[in-house]
Amino acid sequence: MKAIVYKGPRDVVVKKVPDAKIKKATDVLVKITTTNICGSDLHMYEGRTNMEPGRIFGHENLGTVIEIGSAVDRVKRGDRVCMPFNISCGFCENCERGLTGFCLTTNPGNAGAAYGFAGMGPYSGGQAELLRVPYADFNCLVLPPDADEKENDYVMLSDIFPTGYHATELAGVQAGDSVVIYGAGPVGLMAAYSSIIKGASKVMVVDMHKDRLALAEKIGAIAVNDSDGSGVEQVMALTAGIGADRGCECVGYQCCDHKGHEVPNLTMNNLVKTVRPTGGIGVVGVFIPEDPHAKDKLAKQGRIAFDFGQFWIKGQHIGTGQANVKAYNRKLCKLIAEGKAKPSFIISHELPLDRAVEAYENFDARKDGWTKVVLKPGH
């Protein structure tokens, strides 16, 4: 089969690799029809993780089941399915509580596994023609009959729509709240979209990229352009000097100042500044336990200088971590099926797998107009 293979920093190749196969009776084999490139792939692509060369990328996957293991009960050959990026067992202590991003079975010694992901188990990704799906009865979301027509919406259920929603859950967003979101990438836009779906009264999205901010405005959010570094003051002015009720971090450890220099503590401290006393902060942007290629000494050890005193005095609370996709994907699927949500609005490029190299280059450069790439292996 053809797949996108990581060779080294900023070096991926589309090449023939051995076909993915069923390994356990609980697996299914999926023929991938849509697979996305994610901001999380970029941390790996840039060589800022311990991703091993030779691994196949891709954790945002949708396709058709073509083979089922002998112990698979529910999922049938021919089903159109979307897989959460988390690979989870369904029976461990965390899965039982709905915390499938922290499964204790699928990545022994750690909590949480994913397809084609650094530090999240040995699993191959789905930026390929075929994908092996473990514990398939638990992990496959079987899609409604309009799966083909709405494929570009449903594929967002694999990660970024539930992840954006998770950010709002961690922050505690409820109807009537004001929300500030750092990052207008796909995840930040989905956090804004989820806040709007929940009935937030005011949603402010901070970024420096005009094309991404324009999408935030298109869904009814207020764009806060931080290209001169005045984002924090703008948010305070928009909230009568008090700060937003809730805040979401949708950038991660590679966040930058307005000059484009990485400042790993910037968004976290900006959230402490721009969320009101007793407000909630949800952090889905990725922070990693060690970052050997970081410029600053603290960051190399996975640490940031966090304004804990301000945070404490303001009585804020914070929630972090990988999204438990299965906690939300079924409900968000219904919103799509009923025409109440259309997350495909963020897609800028739909390309065949063969054009992945240029897609990675352009998305990594956050080149104007490259907001979200979906790849179609069958084309």
- The residues that touch Zn ion, with contacts defined as CB under 5 A, are 38, 40, 60, 88-89, 92, 95, 103, 105, 159
User: Which member of 39, 112, 247, 377 binds ligand NAD (CB under 6 A)?
Assistant: 39
The strand ranges marked E within the chain are 2-8, 11-16, 28-36, 61-68, 80-83, 130-133, 141-142, 178-182, 202-207, 222-225, 244-249, 275-283, 317-320, 349-352, 373-376
Measured distance CA(57)–CA(45) in Å, rounded: 9
Residue 188 is a binding residue for ligand NAD (CB under 6 A): yes
141 binds, among Zn ion, ligand NAD, none (CB under 5 to 8 A by kind): none
267 binds ligand NAD (CB under 6 A): yes
CB of 244 to ligand NAD, least distance (A): 14
Task: Indicate the residue type of 110.
Answer: N
Distances (CA, A) of 306 to 241, 310, 311, 317: 22, 9, 9, 14
Q: Does 266 bind ligand NAD (CB under 6 A)?
A: yes
Q: How many CB atoms lie within 10 A of CB 18?
A: 9
Pick from 286, 332, 336, 373: which binds ligand NAD (CB under 6 A)?
A: 286
No. of helices (H) and no. of strands (E), the chain: 13, 15
CB-nearest residue to Zn ion? 38
CA–CA separation, 356 and 358 (whole Å): 6
Please, which residue, 133 or 190, has the CB nearer to ligand NAD? 190
x-or-dash pattern for ligand NAD, window 345-374, by CB under 6 A? ---------------------x--------
Closest distance of CB 193 from ligand NAD, Å = 12
> Is residue 200 close enough to count as binding ligand NAD by CB under 6 A?
no
Binding-site partner at residue 116 among ligand NAD, Zn ion, none, CB < 5 to 8 Å by type:
none
CB 35 within 8 A of CB 127: yes
Of 51, 95, 157, 206, the one binding ligand NAD by CB under 6 A:
206
Q: Least distance to ligand NAD from the beta carbon of 159, Å?
A: 5
**Measured from the CB of residue 254, what is the shortest distance to Zn ion in angstroms?**
15
Of 128, 130, 133, the closest CA to residue 106 belongs to 133
Return phi, psi of residue 14, to 5°.
-95, 115
CB-wise, 26 or 36, nearer to ligand NAD? 36
By beta-carbon proximity to ligand NAD, the closer residue of 80 and 212 is 212
Any alpha helices (H) in 219-285, and if so which ranges?
A: 231-238, 266-274
